[in-house]
Chain A
Amino acid sequence: MTALPVDPCDATLVDIAKALADRKISSLEVTQATLARLNDRGRALNNVAGIDADDAEAQAKAADANLGDGPLAGVPLAHKDMFYRPGRLSECGSKVRAGFMPDVLSGALKKLDGAGALDVARLNMVEFALGVTGHNDITGAVRNPWNPAHVTGGSSSGSGSAVAARCVFGALGSDTGGSVRLPAACCGVVGMKVTQGRVSRFGAMPLSYTLDTVGPLTRTVTDNALMLSVLAGYDADDPSSADVVVDDYLGGIEDGVSGLKIGLPTSHFMDGMSAELAERFDAAVQVLKSAGAEIVDVDLPAEIRHANALTSMITASEGAALHQHWMETRPDDYGKQTFGRFGGGFLIPASRYIQALNLRTEMLAAFNALVFENVDVMMTPMMVVDVPKIADSDLGAGADAAALLTKVGHCSRPINFLGLPGLSVPSGFTKAGLPSSIQFVGKPFDEATLYRVARAYERETEWPTQAPDPAGWEAA
């Protein structure tokens, strides 16, 4: 372990957990530093939905008095405002759920509690998690730490912003069409969209029962693997979680890519990509090639081009069913784009919705035969467009908004449709100073190999050592 930085918040999750376990720093010190960052940087970037400082300090004192041997003992974390904890607000970035106090504990929080983590704040999010840019008419846009005039990506906007700004060591997000990976990509952090069923969704706000997943955002790949080690596994409270053995994500993470085959898709994922992002992607491929990976082209099923639209169709249909009563009785309490997108769900015939669901099986089987019978991991860009400006992408519910959402979700949504794991990893910065990113896509339940490949890339590039500069935030 390296020496702790002056402000403990600048340490990685792995290092702070080790320092706490070794009693080199107290949980109270780390928690107070975290609260200071959330109150200062977090408020400046609008990534905080709520903080209860007294409760956070009480958790920290209890941890110091009786530090368990859990892998996250005494570590303060904060999460997207949609993971239920009894007696604490969970407002889901909305006016409709303002004041909502759940009476159940989410499966994900239960696992983190069991590992000794503290839960010190609620983080802002896109209204009801429906949106890939990060806009929110109710709470206002969360700001990107690398340039606050730009979006954070969504819907786990506060999680991406808070982790990148080094307010917190890690945060939970949810990913239905890219909502963990896109904020990770826009904010230059690591985000894991897990295999469908890998992490419990019990007690997490629903958007689409078919596509919702829960996953971590962290600054480094190893931090992410540590968090998922805690989160992954079957939960009897969530019968849709899978009873599949959880790999040791940290055990092989430094094994490198020698002997692994990485596939580059010959269609869809690079369509419409800017020249600069294409160059950055090629550079990332070369890094892995130099590190010993075998790089090969892989063909995809032609139908993959429809996976983005099919994902939106399923989300809109299921979301409309979840929200219909409130939309009818409280229409003015919804933001324009949220209402517009859920409203689109009322126009989708039930028969088409069910056919879209059926297509997941056929497309996964075809994708597996073409890709994973030939390579270990597929590598794609995470986004084909630059991180948009907030002002340029505040498009409400018009046709322009639909087009932008389609572009931003171009590489993320097909992976949700297929139910596969996808890991978003920073790949440096564009000339404009905004993050670029790559995505590794794996076989079902093979998150371990994604971490291994991503760590090999990260080790060669060390992007996580760069930090955003808070100096310009006030001006924006």
Chain B
Amino acid sequence: MRDETDPIRVWLKKTKSIDLGDRQIIDSQRTGQPIGEIVSEAGGGQVFDTEPARFYRLIQDLAPKRASS
């Protein structure tokens, strides 16, 4: 249980209409590597691109040619 001074609890109380601080939640920053670190180590994920559906185009482009429409 988090105490009243816990920064996450304080922030949640300010920003959520339910007090999540009273409940047990799986917070990846507390149970493993911080989220920012995971994203950075995985490549950053910052994309400044004009195509909104790059993933969907790529996955269809990679289909075997016999299966292309």
Contact = CB atoms under 8 A, between A and B. Distances in A.
B58 A365 contact: yes
Given A355-B45, A356-B39, A419 B28 contact: no
A421 to B, nearest CB: 11
A327 B33 CA distance: 26
A364 B60 CA distance: 12
B42 A306 contact: yes
A30 to B, nearest CB: 34
Interface string A365-391: 100100010000000000000000000
A197 B67 CA distance: 14
A443 B63 contact: yes
A222 to B, nearest CB: 20
A340 B24 contact: yes
Interface string A332-348: 00001101110110111
Interface residues of B, number: 41
Contacts of A372: 62
Nearest to A210: B55
B35 A312 contact: no
A349 interface: yes
Contacts of A364: 55, 58-59, 62
Contact of A359 (B20, B45, B66): B45
Contacts of B29: 347
Most buried by B among A313, A352, A372: A352
Contacts of B63: 195, 244, 443-446
Interface string B13-29: 00011101001111111
A343 B29 CA distance: 13
Contacts of A443: 62-64
A343 B56 CA distance: 29
Given A306-B38, A396-B24, 6 more contacts: A247-B67, A307-B42, A310-B42, A313-B38, A328-B17, A352-B36
A349 B39 CA distance: 12
Contact of A344 (B27, B44, B64): B27
Given A196-B59, A327-B18, A359-B45, A399 B30 contact: yes
A359 B43 contact: yes
A242 interface: yes
A268 interface: no
Contacts of A195: 59, 63
Chief secondary structure at chain A's binding surface = helix
A358 interface: yes
A197 B68 CA distance: 14
Given A306-B38, A444-B63, A312 B45 contact: no
A217 to B, nearest CB: 24
B23 to A, nearest CB: 6
A349 B33 CA distance: 15
Interface in A175-191: none
A339 B31 contact: no
Contacts of B66: 247
Most buried by A among B24, B58, B59, B62: B59
Contacts of B44: 355, 359
A245 B35 contact: no
A267 B26 CA distance: 27
Nearest to B15: A346
Contacts of B55: 357, 360-361, 364, 419
A397 B47 contact: no
A354 interface: yes
A352 B33 CA distance: 14
A336 B23 CA distance: 9
A344 B58 CA distance: 30
B58 to A, nearest CB: 6
B26 A397 contact: yes
Contacts of B41: 303, 306
